[in-house]
């Protein structure tokens, strides 16, 4: 099901979708985002490129006022489709949870029938192939490990728990190419990579604050289980402090400075990222996998790229993210920060949010560029 190349919405369609579907004062009913995807018919992808509009739940067109109906096509002729994704939330572990991936206070969500069920089924062929590999013990990724492999429980002492995505390092001194070529220097520092809301408590944790492995919810204590200290993060802009239409969020990412011997790039049960992929080469239909604190190793497919979507961060507010990847559901609360890769371990993105239907992922190219770190020496 690999999609067409060029996984981006045209500028005119993006402007129209933002102004018509997510207008500041009166967005379309239930709309939480849009992206580049495929048209679906009778619960199956047709392969035709489309602007996919994400809604919390589908409502029969006959029950909607005309102003809330998504047009059959954009002004430039690109067809549209509507997919119910439920309530999309940042996926740090919640102390009280309801259905998988959604905080208990938000209630449950059963999807929209055919399309949601088909999205879940897209990952089944990979799961069948991997059954013979066995399964992980549920508690394995919630315990203390040194050196700490990627994919296990971690978090700032101010939060519950998320996932250690990978070990990264500063761009090599003297590097003149992007990515750096061989023999161009020695990394000056090493970091654990995860989300802002996992390592920096949604912008609120001070620089140098303790990060423990496992996370506090899983029994981690400072200083006994300290693995890193908060070094830097990309600020997330939240509403109501900043209106959604003025936000420019692209990544939810942070770094904790770590000693070389205390953590490793090896993904638990999954191998080391051997390269990273530019966002222009990430396509609808691509297979993906991740290892995370809560759901261990899981597999899925990309259903949308170039996505704009509103994410609920609870008490911190709501944040609108642009230029995101949406996959079938491969995560739950506590998986935030997981590195998402191709089946052959090429890094694609950083998981940070989701629902019972989809998972939302930052492009690794954006994470790498904004934090000025390297995750793998090769570009794939």
Facing residues of 154 across strands?
162
Contact in structure between 233 and 195 (CB atoms under 8 Å) = no
C-alpha–C-alpha distance, residues 359 and 369, integer Å: 22
C-alpha–C-alpha distance, residues 193 and 143, integer Å: 18
Query: pLDDT category, 114, cuts 50, 70, 90?
Result: low
| DSSP label at residue 294 | T
**Angle formed at CA 137 by CA 134 and CA 140, multiple of 5 degrees:** 130
pLDDT of 26 reads 72
Residue predicted with more confidence, 104 or 366: 366
C-alpha–C-alpha distance, residues 33 and 88, integer Å: 10
Question: Mean pLDDT highest for which of 17-26, 105-114, 119-128?
Answer: 17-26
Contact in structure between 131 and 108 (CB atoms under 8 Å) = no
Q: Any idea which of 109-123, 195-209, 228-242, 334-348 has the lowest mean pLDDT? A: 109-123
Chain segment 285-309, per-residue pLDDT in tens: 999 999 999 999 999 999 999 999 9
> Within its chain, how far is the Cα of 3 from the centroid?
20
| DSSP label at residue 306 | E
- Compute the mean pLDDT over every residue in the chain, rounded to the nearest whole number: 85
* Residue ranges of domains in the chain: 140-237+247-269
pTM of the model: 0.87
Is the predicted pLDDT of residue 46 greater than 90, yes or no? no
Phi, psi of 178 (to 5 degrees): -130, 105
Query: pLDDT category, 64, cuts 50, 70, 90?
Result: confident
Name the token pair of 170: 């500063």
Residue predicted with more confidence, 19 or 262: 262
Name the token pair of 196: 């802002």
Query: pLDDT category, 178, cuts 50, 70, 90?
Result: low
C-alpha–C-alpha distance, residues 213 and 164, integer Å: 9
C-alpha–C-alpha distance, residues 161 and 334, integer Å: 6
Is the predicted pLDDT of residue 131 greater than 90, yes or no? no
Q: Any idea which of 41-55, 156-170, 188-202 has the lowest mean pLDDT? A: 41-55
Other beta carbons less than 10 A from residue 235's beta carbon: 11
SS3 content of the chain, % helix, strand, coil (to 5): 20, 35, 45
C-alpha–C-alpha distance, residues 308 and 298, integer Å: 24
Contact in structure between 355 and 331 (CB atoms under 8 Å) = no
Range 198-223 average pLDDT: 97
C-alpha–C-alpha distance, residues 99 and 355, integer Å: 9
Phi, psi of 251 (to 5 degrees): -135, 155
Facing residues of 305 across strands?
36
Write the DSSP string, 151-206: TSEEEETTS--EE--EEEEEPPTT--SSS--TTS---S-EEEEE-HHHHSTTTTSP
Q: How many CA atoms lie within 13 A of 203 on its CB side?
A: 11
């Amino acid at each position: 099901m690999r999609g067409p190349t060029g996984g981006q919405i045209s500028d005119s369609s993006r402007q129209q979708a933002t102004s018509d579907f997510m207008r500041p004062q009166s967005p379309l009913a239930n709309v939480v985002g849009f992206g580049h995807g495929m048209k679906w018919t009778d619960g199956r992808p047709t392969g035709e490129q489309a602007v996919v509009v994400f809604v919390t739940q589908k409502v029969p067109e006959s029950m909607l006022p005309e102003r809330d109906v998504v047009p059959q096509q954009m002004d430039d002729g690109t067809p549209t489709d509507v997919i119910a994704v439920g309530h999309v939330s940042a996926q740090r572990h919640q102390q009280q949870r309801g259905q998988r991936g959604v905080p208990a206070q938000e209630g449950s969500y059963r999807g929209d029938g055919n399309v949601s069920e088909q999205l879940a089924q897209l990952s089944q062929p990979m799961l069948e192939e991997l059954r013979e590999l066995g399964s992980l013990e549920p508690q394995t990724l919630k315990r203390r490990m040194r050196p700490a492999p990627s994919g296990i429980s971690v978090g700032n002492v101010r939060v519950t728990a998320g996932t250690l995505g990978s070990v990264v390092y500063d761009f090599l001194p003297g590097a003149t190419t992007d990515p750096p070529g061989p023999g161009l220097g020695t990394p000056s520092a090493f970091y654990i990579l995860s989300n802002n809301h996992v390592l920096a408590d949604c912008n609120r944790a001070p620089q140098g604050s303790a990060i423990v492995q496992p996370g506090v919810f899983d029994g981690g204590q400072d200083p006994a289980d300290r693995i890193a200290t908060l070094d830097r993060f990309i600020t997330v802009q939240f509403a109501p402090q900043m209106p959604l239409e003025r936000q420019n969020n692209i990544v939810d990412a942070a770094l904790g400075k770590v000693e070389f011997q205390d953590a490793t790039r090896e993904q638990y049960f999954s191998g080391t990222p051997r390269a990273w992929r530019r966002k222009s080469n990430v396509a609808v239909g691509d297979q993906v996998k991740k290892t995370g604190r809560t759901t261990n190793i899981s597999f899925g497919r990309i259903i949308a790229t170039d996505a704009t979507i509103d994410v609920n961060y609870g008490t911190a507010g709501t944040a609108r993210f642009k230029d995101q990847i949406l996959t079938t559901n491969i995560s739950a609360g506590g998986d935030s920060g997981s590195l998402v890769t191709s089946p052959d371990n090429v890094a694609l993105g950083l998981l940070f949010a989701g629902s019972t239907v989809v998972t939302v992922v930052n492009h690794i190219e954006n994470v790498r560029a904004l934090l000025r770190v390297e995750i793998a020496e090769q570009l794939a």
